[in-house]
Structures are given as C-alpha cells and as structure tokens.
Structure 1
Amino acid sequence: MPVPHLTTALRGPILELEKRILESMPAIEHWLRGKWQNHTVPFYCSVDLRNSGFKLAPVDTNLFPGGFNNLNPEFLPLCVQAMMAAVEKICPDAHSILLIPESHSRNIFYLQNVAILQDIMRHAGMHVRIGSLLPEITSATTIHLPDGNTLLLEPIQRKNNRLYVNNFDPCAILLNNDLSSGIPEVLKDLNQIVIPPLYAGWSTRKKSQHFSAYDSVAQEFSELIGIDPWLINPYFSPCGKIDFREKKGEDCVATAVDEILKDLQEKYTQYGVKEKPFVIVKADSGTYGMGILTVKDSADVYKLNRRQRNKMAIIKEGLSVTHVLVQEGVYTFESINQAVAEPVIYMIDRYVVGGFYRVHTGKSIDENLNAPGMHFVPLAFDTSCVLPNHSALPDSAPNRFYAYGVVARLALLAASLELERHTTVRPDQTLTTLQS
C-alpha cells in the first residue's frame, strides 16, 4: 500500500537525533531487551507522536488501541507473530478468548478495527468471540462492514465469576474498551485473566502519571545515546480541582502555562527555533480528542468563551473534567498534500507491528489532529518500523520509521512502569500474577 510523498520541514536537531538513534541501534535494542526482562510489557499499545523537525516526542499513549484497520495489510504477519508472543507470555494455555469492544454500535470504522483484531488473534491460533456490553444486544447480532466482512456481537453472560457467551467459556478476556466511564460490575472479581488489567482503564489511569513515568525513561535513554532529553520529551504539569464552567482552578492552569512557555522559550532559543511556543491543555484521562485546547498565552485561559468552556468541561461518555494535563505543544511539520500529519505507532507485546499517519486538512500544525473532520485520512506506513537502512540517509523513510518505533517503545516502557505503580507487587511478577 503506497503512501503519498511525505514532506518534512527538516531542522538540524531532528536530523542529529535520527542519526544518533541509527548509530546507537545495537545499544538501544540491548537496553530495551534488558528492560523487558525486569518489567511486564503491556499487551498492546498505540502511541501518538509529533515530529516538529527539531523534536520527536510522544503526546499520547493508548493501552486499548483502536485503529488496527488502518495498518498496512502487508504487516499482518508481524501482528500475528507478536500476538502469539503476547498470548504465550500471559496465558500459555489460552485457546479461547472473549474480546470485549467499546460500545460503539454505530461506529463502523471502529468495528472494522475489532474485526481486524479478531482476525489477528484467529491467525495466532485463538478461538475468538466478541461479547458486547451494549444493553440492546440481547441476542447474537450480525454487523455488516463496508469491506464485505461481518462481525458477530453476542450478549455477555456471567456465571460463577466467569464471563461467557452462548456455548463459549473463554479462558481469558481481552478488553478493547478503555473503561472511560468506569469499570462495569460484570467485569469485577472474575476468575478469568483480564487483559489489559482493569486498572489500565481511564477510570483509574491518568496521563500525568504516564508522562511522569516517561520522564524517567526518557532521561535514562538520553544518557544512553548522549542526547538532550528534551528532544524526545514534552514538558508537562498536572492540575486538579478544575471546573471550566464555573471558572474554578484556572489559576493553576495559567501558572502551569506560564512556566512551560518560559522553559520552552529557553529551549527554542537554544536550538534556534523561530516558531512561537505553545501549550496544550487537555483532560488528564480519556481519548477521542475531546477536552483539548491550544494555548499560546496564559491570559487565554481566562478568556475562554462559553462554547470553549463547555467543550473543555465534558469528555467521552459525558464525563466531567476535573483534572487536566498542561503539556508542551509539539508542532507537527509533517504534511501530505498540504495537510498536516502525525504518525501513530502500534505495538503488540514489545514488538512494533506498524503504524499510520493521521492526516487532517482542517487542522493546523499546532492543533490536535485526533478530532472529527471529514478530511481525516489514515495513511498506512509502507515500510515497517523495524528495518532501518544503515546505508541510507538518517531521514530516509526506513530510518525515520525506525526512530518512530524507538520513541514509541519508550512510551510503551513508560506505560509498563506506570501500571506497576498501580500495584503493590514486585515489577518482575507476571501479568497473570498481577491479576490473580
């Protein structure tokens, strides 16, 4: 699947970063292998990156990734191999898995993702059925997909602390539901393995906790290859007790914006960056690009109109925003046909299995691209992120994708550390132990 020509406004620091990553490949891979001997890798993960030409950094990490339908079909064998490794590590005797998706009965694109995920697991040797949490799914329901395939949704039943669907008693539950609205009672206290663990959902997890973990990972990695950690790490600060509608908690946000903008200006001056620094204010949990605001001056925090306040006050599932993450804004200078683009990297277990570009003609280089828009176009990578070309330039497609894969795996490692902090067990214990 060819990708249209991608143009990037090249800057000195990012070329040097890509060169350093390429030269340090043996040390990087050895370092990462050592980390996975001591830490439990999340089952699967997607990471949103931004490439500003002078910086390459993750801006969001999703532990219940949708969008497998946007990956290059040629990478299906990579996905299947990685899925085999993930299942064998967590539940070596697993042969039947109940997949529980989001409650998006009308989102055909998401349901195509579910179908691809089911297909990957079937190719990995699993019996897979799909159990729906939707109350209106009271009997087996066939969904027809645009590609001609179908998806069978079945009502979940619970008995003796086990979930099952008709004539199917699975040995493990795979969630593709981020639990934004809380943990349903039906999922609690099961005697089946649940992956990812329930505490990985957005009802428990916070983005600020993830980036705190990423901060330590980026620092250690930067020392390993000899770079300024800022080149791969966005500044951030959490703020709690926020009520945008009642204008409560604004001082915390404005102060954080001021501090980050000041630090950013120093870095921009150091690296000769001419652009104006900016900050993203977003809900400290949740997905789907809701509750996000671009800010270039702390005074803007106090000037939000009613529509902006309402937009910031509510996220997915109609939940109120009470905590926000104030995060360094990372420009994206990647574009396809004059539309801004950002890479999204997908991993199963510790393996990068592909990615795609999120493209939006209705957004600018300093805005969130994970937003509704008729021009949103996912463009699958035509080269995997695992085969750099050492004889090519550092910014050639295979090498740039390898750099993307490295930074995404740093975010994956941070997610591992983040989840360990939610438990009281040793980090070398397995995920099976964590959930027993």
Structure 2
Amino acid sequence: MVPHLITALTGPINELEQRVLDSMSAIERWFRLEWMEHTPPFYTSVDIRNAGFKLSPVSTRLFPSGWNYLTPEMMPLAVQAAMAAIEKICPEARNLLVIPENGDHSARYLANLAQLTRIFNMAGLNVRLGSIDPAVKQSTTIQLASGDSVTLEPVIRSKRRLGLKDFDPCTILLNNDLDAGVPGILEDLFEQYLLPPLHAGWPTRRKSNHFKAYEEAAKRLGKLMGVDPWLINPLSDKCEEVDLAQDTGMDCLRNQVDVVLSKVRRKYKEYGIKEKPFVVIKADHGTHELGIVTVRDAKDLQALTDRVKTLTDGRKKPLSPHGFMVQEGVLTQERVNDAVAEPVIYTMDRYVVGGYYRVLEGRGVDETLEAPGSGYVPLAFEHSTQLPQPGVKPGASAPNRFYMYGVVGRLAMLAASYELEATDPDAEVYD
C-alpha cells in the first residue's frame, strides 16, 4: 500500500515545497552548523500534519515507541545512526541496558522493544531489557507472534550503578517517559550514561517549552528560506496550574483559546483559506483525563465546561491542578487509500531514520488519529531522504514531499535540543 498524496497542485504547501527544494544546500548546511553547537536528543518521533496550506509538527516524543513499524529497508539507516549516537557518548560501549515502560505491555509495545534490541545489536552492542517495575521480580521471556522473543529482567541497583545480574552497562537507554515521576533507582548513577536524561521526562518537560523552542527554530529556518514561519509552525500558548475541580484557571483557558483562535483567523484571512480555524486543548505534560478537546468558537467552550463537570462530579479523589496547552489545530489532507493519515517521523542522533503514516478510517481531517484502531503504513524514507527530486513539479513527487517531512522532523528535533539545554539542571549559568 503506497501513500497517496492528494494535496492540490497549487497553494502554499507546494510553494513551501519549492522553497525547501530550492534551499536544500542552505538548509543542510544550517542543520550541520546547528549540530556543531547543540547536542541532538538521542531519539525522537515527530507527528506532522499536512493541511494543504501549511506543514506543522503537533507532537514530539523524546521516549518514542513504535520502532516496530520501521520496515527492514529502514534498518540500515537506523543502525548507522545508532552507531553514530553511541560512539559520541561512549565509544568503548559494549553493554546497553534498555529500561521499558512499567505495567502490562501490549504486543505492539513488546514488538517495539524487540526492534530496538535488534537495532542496537546490529550496532555492535550487547542489549538487555531491565525493568524498574516493582512487579517484575524475576526474568520473564515472552514469545511474540512474529517469532521474536523479549526477555524482561528486574534491575539491580548497587550503591552507584544500575544493571542486571552479571551485566554492567556503560549506557542506559530509557524507553519510559517517567509520567508517574522519577524513581530514585534512576538517580545519582556513577559513570553511567542515562539517555535521554531524566529532565527529558514529564516531571520536568513541558510541551509548551518545546513549541516555544520550535517557534524560534521555525523563525530562523523561515528566514533562511524566505517564507512565513507560520507555514511550518503551529501557534500555541499555555495555562499553568488549572484546577478543573475548582474552576481555577478556566478563565485563562478561555482567554488563551480566544487569543490563539484570533491569531489563526488572521492568518487564514491573509492566505485566503476558507476552512474554519480551530484549536486543541491538551495537557502540557504527559496525559490527562480531559483528553484532547477541540474548540472552534465560543460555543465549544461550554462543551469544555460540561466535559469538565462530567469528569469532576462525584469523584472521591479530586483532580490535581494541571497545566494545559492551547495549540492551533492543523488539518490533515493526506490519505492512504480513502482513510485520513498523518506522517510520523523517527530520528536518532541527528538523522532521520524512517517513519510511517498513522491511518484511522472514519476520522475527520480535524481529528486526532492517535487512537485505538489506528493502522500504520511505512513511508519510503530509505529512498526519500537520500534522493529528493529538485526538478520535479511541486506536489507531484512523493520523495520531495517526504524530504520536506524530514526537514520539519529535524527542525522539531533541533527544538528538542534547545529545550533540553534550557531545562538542564546541571547546566552552568553565566551572569
């Protein structure tokens, strides 16, 4: 099944594609210089939405799962990137300990662990899976439908190191976003590299910080290409410590919805876009019971209030105050056959290594596709990142479109680098 690009052959998205292709040498040089000054996050996945008139990331994960959806053709890129990443951090590395999520694991997530193990094995490392879940008390091997097997082992913490029985790793790779908090077992490790760092987890990380950093990166790349940064940047703002149970902070949400919607309306008018603008309200860190709320106008704010009331009425344990982000909603005009789709880009070190289309039949172009029932169709990055076709008419070449996805994915990765540097608790501060 091949992704089918249905966006129109005229309009801002194809003008943007042309600018990207015309600026290819300058873009690659700019990224190269940026990586001389900044350290890329170890790995990321970036959800991108192509509205037909703009192309924007809407989510960047620093502990990505879903590696099992990368095809065998993508593996050489992933292995090479893994080698580059490990060589920069611990060139003599022999052993790698992967820390998965806690709790019961789906077959999909276990397949993700098997793929990560395969990538780093092929990069020359001994890889073991060490669980920090207190419920995992003995080594357990799970057979997968693919024929692979995954063995989870309980970690052993010595005074200053983390490992397994008869396994002392140089590097520890987290595939756990620490949404429940940072466990003490991961703190104060001695001469072991923990990747990504603890401050990349949700106890510290805020989506609003990421998109603030992304906005800065988009402005710089937009200036380089001579395009409006809005064409690659979703507008957003935030409200901190919203207490849904006490209605504290709801005024902030209402105000920010109005502010962001007003900005988007002006942009739509500027570009002659006839679609109705919308925003999404989502947790600023991790996830929240409220989920993702779509707001198109003032009437929808009452629906938000009703949804909050349903959540809070009759609860024995009140909802804790939480931060929320108000983000410009970005349509998706991509299709795989007749189903709405969105590209997801995977990176390791500073390289795009693959990706797929997330597909969900029955969803609208303005709805989230990250939901039960989603399917996954690979993007042909083994060709597209290497062989864009500059002479082809904009909108007519899948490799060119995929190259543009890769540029936006790397821009989000660069923003994550800025974000992690700004929130690093060990960074030196100069007056």
TM-score with structure 2 length normalisation?
A: 0.93
- Quote the residue 1:430 is aligned against: none
Give how far 1:27 is off.
0.3
* Distance in 1, Cα, partners of 2:88 & 2:223: 30
SS at match of 2:326: strand
Q: Is the 8 A contact 1:250 1:302 kept in 2?
A: no
Change (3 A) 1:38 1:383: closer
- Quote the residue 1:46 is aligned against: 45
1:418 aligns with 2:419: yes
* Distance in 1, Cα, partners of 2:128 & 2:288: 26
1:222 aligns with 2:222: yes
Change (3 A) 1:410 1:289: farther
- Quote the residue 1:432 is aligned against: none
Q: How does 1:4-403 map to 2 (within 5 A)?
A: 4-9=3-8, 11-191=10-190, 192-286=192-286, 291-304=291-304, 307=307, 320=320, 322-372=322-372, 374=373, 376-384=374-382, 385-387=384-386, 388-395=388-395, 396-403=397-404
Give how far 1:336 is off.
1.8
Q: Is the 8 A contact 2:265 2:277 kept in 1?
A: yes
Give how far 1:333 is off.
1.0
- What number of residue pairs does the alignment pair up? 420
Give how far 1:104 is off.
4.4
SS at match of 2:423: coil
**Which 4+ residue blocks in structure 1 deviate beyond 6 angstroms?**
none
Q: Which moved more, 1:284-293 or 1:296-305?
A: 284-293
Give how far 1:363 is off.
2.1
Q: Which amino acid aligns with 2:114?
A: A
Give how far 1:266 is off.
1.1
Q: Is the 8 A contact 2:18 2:394 kept in 1?
A: yes
Q: Which amino acid aligns with 1:404?
A: Y
Give how far 1:425 is off.
2.7
Q: Which moved more, 1:387-396 or 1:220-229?
A: 387-396
* Distance in 1, Cα, partners of 2:93 & 2:394: 42
* Distance in 1, Cα, partners of 2:126 & 2:19: 44
Q: Which amino acid aligns with 1:425?
A: A
Give how far 1:270 is off.
1.1
* Distance in 2, Cα, partners of 1:11 & 1:181: 47
Change (3 A) 1:311 1:414: farther
Q: Is the 8 A contact 2:97 2:169 kept in 1?
A: yes
Give how far 1:262 is off.
1.1
Q: Deviations over 1:187-231 (max 9, x none)?
A: 011111100000000111000000111111111111111000100
Q: Which moved more, 1:6-15 or 1:175-184?
A: 6-15
Give how far 1:305 is off.
6.0
Change (3 A) 1:46 1:320: farther
* Distance in 2, Cα, partners of 1:262 & 1:143: 52
Q: Which amino acid aligns with 1:134?
A: D
Q: Is the 8 A contact 2:48 2:342 kept in 1?
A: yes
Give how far 1:360 is off.
1.1
* Distance in 1, Cα, partners of 2:311 & 2:48: 24
SS at match of 1:7: coil
Change (3 A) 1:367 1:426: same
SS at match of 2:241: coil
Q: Which moved more, 1:26-35 or 1:98-107?
A: 98-107
Q: Is the 8 A contact 1:173 1:193 kept in 2?
A: yes
Q: Is the 8 A contact 1:178 1:202 kept in 2?
A: yes
- Quote the residue 1:431 is aligned against: none
Q: Which amino acid aligns with 1:131?
A: G
* Distance in 2, Cα, partners of 1:28 & 1:425: 29
* Distance in 2, Cα, partners of 1:212 & 1:289: 25
Change (3 A) 1:95 1:218: same
Change (3 A) 1:311 1:25: farther
| Identical columns (%) | 52
Q: Which amino acid aligns with 1:400?
A: R
Give how far 1:34 is off.
0.2
Give how far 1:241 is off.
2.0
Change (3 A) 1:364 1:312: farther
* Distance in 2, Cα, partners of 1:310 & 1:99: 40
TM-score with structure 1 length normalisation?
A: 0.92
SS at match of 1:323: strand
1:409 aligns with 2:410: yes
* Distance in 2, Cα, partners of 1:6 & 1:226: 25
SS at match of 1:77: helix
Q: Which amino acid aligns with 1:402?
A: Y
Q: What 5-or-longer segments of structure 1 have no aligned partner?
A: 428-436
SS at match of 2:304: coil
Q: Is the 8 A contact 1:245 1:310 kept in 2?
A: no
* Distance in 2, Cα, partners of 1:331 & 1:198: 33
Q: What 5-or-longer segments of structure 2 have no aligned partner?
A: none
